[in-house]
Amino acid sequence: MIERHLEALRPLQRGIGLGTATLADFEQLPLYPEEAHHTTNMSPGRRCDFWMGRSAARRALSDLGADPGPVRADHRWPTFPPGTVGSVSHSGGVAVAIVGSAMRFRSLGVDLELRPLDATAARLVLGPGEFSWLAAGERTCAEAFSAKEAAFKALDPLLDGGAPPLRQIRLDPTEGGFEVRVATHPQVQSFVSIHHLSGGILAWIAVS
């Protein structure tokens, strides 16, 4: 099962906790009141994804050895308990979360993709300078999409005005993933790791 492949990646990096959850976890781990109030007007499917994500986050905090606490949704990104930063993703009935100490990391981003990517997505995902390595077969559009989603999540809380659209996040293929650049923010220089799973892709980034 896909969650076993995810669990086998532990540790992604020293100082990063990893947690997973599936549809079977829906309503099994109770939400904190600060989390539950976000679900009031959610559709059943969105509520299930939210619950899985919080279950995965709870397990990531435990894996890190951090104190438990609510993961709020007051912004476009999840706010982890004081002293920690993290990220959550879900796809195809599976959720994954990563978390680390805020003393060590400024931000984290993770993306899980278990569904096929439409062939027309390249024009929505890739910038002008990225089609050459796609055409050369160095990386797939699905890898690029997942990498940019992870990078967006990590950069969104850090950059003035938030992270730019995916096409403006530049990727340069390198061993194990991509180097990340943003033309409007030259200070951004980071790396997104790519892991291939059975039928999917996991991308993650840690910004120190």
Q: What is the DSSP string of 68-94?
A: P---B-SSSS-BPSTTEEEEEEEETTE
pLDDT at position 115: 86
Q: How far apart are alpha carbons 20 and 4 in whole angstroms?
A: 9
- Do 122 and 89 fall into the same domain? no
- Do 148 and 184 fall into the same domain? yes
* Mean pLDDT of all residues belonging to the chain: 93
pLDDT at position 26: 86
The four Cα atoms 158, 166, 170, 187 give a dihedral, to 10 degrees, of: -10
Sheet of strand 84-91: strand arrangement? 16-22, 94-101, 84-91
Mean pLDDT of 61-74: 95
Structurally, how many domains does the chain consist of?
A: 2
Q: What percent of the chain has pLDDT over 90?
A: 77
- pLDDT, one tens digit per residue, over 76-113 is 899 999 999 999 999 999 999 999 999 999 999 999 99
- Do 29 and 89 fall into the same domain? yes
pLDDT at position 184: 87
Question: Is this prediction's pTM over 0.85?
Answer: yes
Domain range for 31 is: 2-105
Closest to 127 in 3D by CA, of 87, 169, 175: 169
Q: In the 8-state DSSP scheme, what is residue 32? A: P
Domain boundary (105, 130, 153) is at 105
- pLDDT, one tens digit per residue, over 161-183 is 899 999 999 999 999 999 999 98
Is 175 within the bounds of a domain?
Answer: yes
